[in-house]
Amino acid sequence: MIYLAWFIIAFSVIQLLVALSNLMFQQKMKHSNSNSNSLVSILIPVRNEENNIGKLLNDLQKQDYENIEIIVFDDQSTDNTENIVGNSIANDKRIKLISSKGLPEGWLGKNYGCYNLAKQSKGKYILFLDADVRVKNDIILNSISLADKHSLGLLSIFPKQEMESIGERITVPNMNYILLSLLPIGLVLKSKFTALAAANGQFMLFNSKIYTETNPHEKFKNNRVEDIEIARYYKQKGIAVGCLTGDDSISCRMYSSFGEAVNGFSKNVINFFGNSFVVAILFWIITSFGFIPVLISLENSMLTLYLFTVLTTRIIISVISKQNVLLNCFYIVPQQIALGLIIYKAFENKLKKQHQWKGRNIS
């Protein structure tokens, strides 16, 4: 038991050091005065997004960077999405709509949408956005300037997550916690190791020449975590990948309830752990009950050290992610319970080979 206790303390210290490195070396997009005027293709796959797409299109029409084309791929929406896009087209001829004629066998809907969007794009850069993100008016210019500066084939940004309900507050921060306590984000760009790869499909900016040569959405056409797989694939091929977190220029409210969040995150949570349920479960057990072996086997001072590292890690990650520090500390226990439920839901879906998302089985 004593060896287990020391292992748990060591693991908590490693998490703290990773989080601290992400805070100290956090890269931010700076305001750019670049005179670049290359065409940027903004590509948005949608399915039943009537509550979001109008707001995003409104944000994009206000961009400081004007040489853009905006293409929306409607994947057989059954709500008012198509009409909302149509109204935006009437006000801005830079916006186009493609309607899906059906999903071919072997494809997931979003991946197929991205593939078709890319085929229709003409820009030097292609930017994939999810419909539920909100963007500030300087994000296009600043992101392409950063991509050019580092000669990136792919730049991905993890948006600041907006949360309103208690259900969101005890689920959404778990993804930031896992990512920022296990992965030194700065090494995504600097390291050649594919294990140090991360990306978020909510914002993925590609060099279009490299995208066309690699055709990543077709390569990963049936992968639910195609964003991370594309980042790993690019690193394997020696293509530079950059990743940012907590940038003020982009935000997102992913889910509106506890149930939505559990169902949504269960699609990809295991990928954070190398697609291993064993590793995911061990992580949850250690981070939920690690205090017990420490309390039983070691002196009180070691328990104090352990609790200090756990709490400090949460505080640092909350700061990086621009989340409420006090609420994240207050909700540590419910967040761990929620993480357990997300992992359980992922395991259950795998056994049943059934995961419903927007009216489709994506297992």
**Average pLDDT score over residue span 309-317:** 98
* pLDDT for the residue numbered 225: 86
Unique residue bearing structure tokens 């690699």? 214
Per-residue model confidence (pLDDT) at position 201: 93
Work out the pLDDT band at 189, boundaries 50, 70, 90. Answer: confident
pLDDT at 8: 94
Q: How many helices (H) and strands (E) does the chain have?
A: 17, 10
Whether 208 shows a pLDDT value over 60: the answer reads yes
For residues 342, 348, 350 and 356, what is the CA-based torsion angle, rounded to 10 degrees? -80
Rounded Cα distance between 260 and 341, Å, is 12
Q: What is the mean pLDDT of the chain?
A: 92
Q: What is the pLDDT of residue 272?
A: 86
pLDDT band at 360 (very low <50, low <70, confident <90, very high): low
Least confident of 140-144, 230-234, 292-296, 307-311: 292-296
pLDDT, tens digit, 9 for 90 and up, residues 127-158: 999 999 999 999 999 999 999 999 999 999 99
- Please give the model's pTM, rounded to 2 decimal places: 0.91
> Which domains does the chain show, CATH number per domain?
2-24+269-361 (no CATH), 40-263 (3.90.550.10)
211 C-beta neighbours (distance < 10 Å), count: 23
Q: Has residue 358 got a pLDDT over 90?
A: no
Mean pLDDT to the nearest integer, 331-360: 84
Q: Who wins on pLDDT, 349 or 304?
A: 304
Does pLDDT of 166 surpass 70?
yes
Does pLDDT of 203 surpass 60?
A: yes
Q: What percent of the chain has pLDDT over 90?
A: 74
pLDDT at 354: 66
Q: What pLDDT, on the 0 to 100 scale, is given for residue 71?
A: 98
Q: Tokens representing 108? A: 């997931």
Residues 202, 185, 323, 282, CA torsion sign: positive
pLDDT band, residue 245 (cuts 50/70/90): confident
Amino acid 6 reads: W
H helix or E strand, kind and range, residue 278: helix 277-289
pLDDT of residue 133: 96
Q: Which band of pLDDT confidence, cut at 50, 70 and 90, is reported for residue 1?
A: confident
**190 confidence band (pLDDT: 50, 70, 90):** confident
Query: Tens of pLDDT along 15-74?
Result: 999 999 999 988 888 777 777 789 999 999 999 999 999 999 999 999 999 899 999 999
Q: What is the pLDDT of residue 55?
A: 96
Structure tokens that stand for 33 in this block: 């005065």
Q: Is the dihedral of CA 144, 146, 151, 156 positive or negative?
A: negative
At residue 192, the pLDDT reads 81
pLDDT at 247: 76
Which among 105, 103, 116, 136 is positioned nearest to 72, based on CA atoms? Answer: 116
Of 75, 76, 72, the residue nearest 86 (C-alpha): 72
Specify the 3-state DSSP secondary structure of 29.
coil
**Is residue 356 predicted with pLDDT exceeding 90?**
no
